[in-house]
Structure 1
């Protein structure tokens, strides 16, 4: 049974005329008649009574008509649903991002995206790159903004570099500046002995900081650990 045959069958059932049905579905009348006969052979029953130019449905035709209409309607619905998604008129995007991007880059970008695609629902998950890559791998996220290189490279994931950020040290105005007053730059070695506020395990900024400190020969002293950018900055 072919989808096209059901279209032809419904057209004949609704017009009760083979020629008008052929015009309705934009096909030659002989081709339509052949497809109806092929459908009848496959079903093993006549669908129409043809007598003196009058076309009526048989019992088999009456039984098939609501089913055929439902199949055609479901196909139209499926086509519409897919087109809505393909053309970004409707759908859902699960996006993961690191804390710095959630507070810096994302607000303006997401606002512009929503203005352009108001039917797309955005679900944002904030986390460290390790956690976000793991969520991507198990299918819980559609895409993620993470720090490169990936903590655990995977052939199933594709990466594209979008931007580069400078790492800075933030200190309280009341606290002595790391490295001494008047310094415009801070070396990693200047952080030795300083009590630091840092993201929890799973965040790349933490891993980068630890690796940089160890390269200078010391272990960083984390006094407070958190998972949200605003909270971490507030602890300084």
Structure 2
């Protein structure tokens, strides 16, 4: 079993086809297919069900791919550690962030890191906090920027709080609350909300405050990005609550402070098992001690 064979299998699983996988791996499709067939023969099981229209993982393939990813990541980590021992930072830096990250200028920080460490391959994805935390625990991401209620405890990662702030209401022009400096949480409870998906950390930031005040709220529209939330609020479909630092960037909406205000923290998190050399370099550039204590359990 060779790492290249594992790489080909993972590529097919992620792209959904042999042609696209071959393009990603920069090989001809026949060579990729031949290597996967050799691996299947060695394993004694088919990894893919192939039809003229689709390629799907078999049960054996479903079991094989996660372990293959871990093996590829371990091999890459080994190369990066050797390079770091000689004074060169190499490998990958996979970063995740919520769409409302405001504690750092992420574009600027990634640009500065690329200048300092040009041999590192950087990737970035946005998602909800819970998904990002899980991807850091699984090793899919090296570092993630998340937003959580102040009392939230993270498990399996290390972390540093970057900022703490309040949520404010955003309403469309012409709304009864537009132009007001502040309102109460009980007044907000009478509104229809555009909010993040149920069960998400972003949703809990608002709902915990309502629950603590003995209030409930109606959510008619669920979104996964602050941009879409703002678009629906502008259309007059409901009101929203977003971090104060983000609200000022949402054109065409009025900002109203709320009392008592829901609170949230922004945190940077990384693997509880220890960051890669690239992650160490990136965190250090942020002024974060990679040895920061957390709960790696």
Cα deviation digits, residues 138-188 of structure 1 (max 9, x gap): 22211211224585532x3211112223321111113221xxx65312332
Which of 190, 200, 209 does residue 212 from structure 1 map onto?
Answer: 209
Alignment map for 1:40-189 (pairs within 5 Å):
82-83=82-83, 87=87, 89-101=89-101, 105-148=105-148, 149=150, 151=152, 153-154=154-155, 156-177=156-177, 182-189=179-186
Cα deviation digits, residues 53-79 of structure 1 (max 9, x gap): xxxxxxxxxxxxxxxxxxxxxxxxx88
Which of 210, 217, 230 does residue 233 from structure 1 map onto?
Answer: 230
Determine the C-alpha separation between the residues in 2 that align with 1:102 and 1:122. Answer: 20
TM-score normalised by length of structure 1 = 0.56
Query: Which structure 1 segments of 5+ residues have no match?
Result: 1-77
Determine the C-alpha separation between the residues in 1 that align with 2:104 and 2:80. Answer: 37
Q: Classify 1:159/1:90 alpha carbon distance in 2 versus 1 (closer, same or farther; 3 Å).
A: same
Greater Cα offset, 121-130 or 192-201: 121-130
Q: Secondary structure at the match of 1:166?
A: strand
Alignment check: 8 A CA contact 1:103 1:229 kept: no
Determine the C-alpha separation between the residues in 2 that align with 1:104 and 1:174. Answer: 33
Determine the C-alpha separation between the residues in 2 that align with 1:118 and 1:125. Answer: 20
Query: Which structure 2 segments of 5+ residues have no match?
Result: 1-77, 234-297
TM-score normalised by length of structure 2 = 0.45
Cα deviation digits, residues 71-113 of structure 1 (max 9, x gap): xxxxxxx889822687564321111211101797322322332
Alignment check: 8 A CA contact 1:102 1:126 kept: no
RMSD of aligned residue pairs (Cα, Å): 3.0
Q: Classify 1:94/1:88 alpha carbon distance in 2 versus 1 (closer, same or farther; 3 Å).
A: farther
Determine the C-alpha separation between the residues in 2 that align with 1:217 and 1:119. Answer: 53
Q: Which residue of 2 aligns with 1:224?
A: 221
Query: Whose strand proportion is higher, 1 or 2?
Result: 2
Q: Secondary structure at the match of 1:225?
A: strand
Which of the pair has more CA radius of gyration?
A: 1
Cα deviation digits, residues 8-40 of structure 1 (max 9, x gap): xxxxxxxxxxxxxxxxxxxxxxxxxxxxxxxxx
Q: Classify 1:86/1:199 alpha carbon distance in 2 versus 1 (closer, same or farther; 3 Å).
A: farther
Determine the C-alpha separation between the residues in 1 that align with 2:81 and 2:154. Answer: 35
How many residues are paired up? 155
Deviation at 1:121, TM superposition (A): 2.1
Deviation at 1:225, TM superposition (A): 0.9
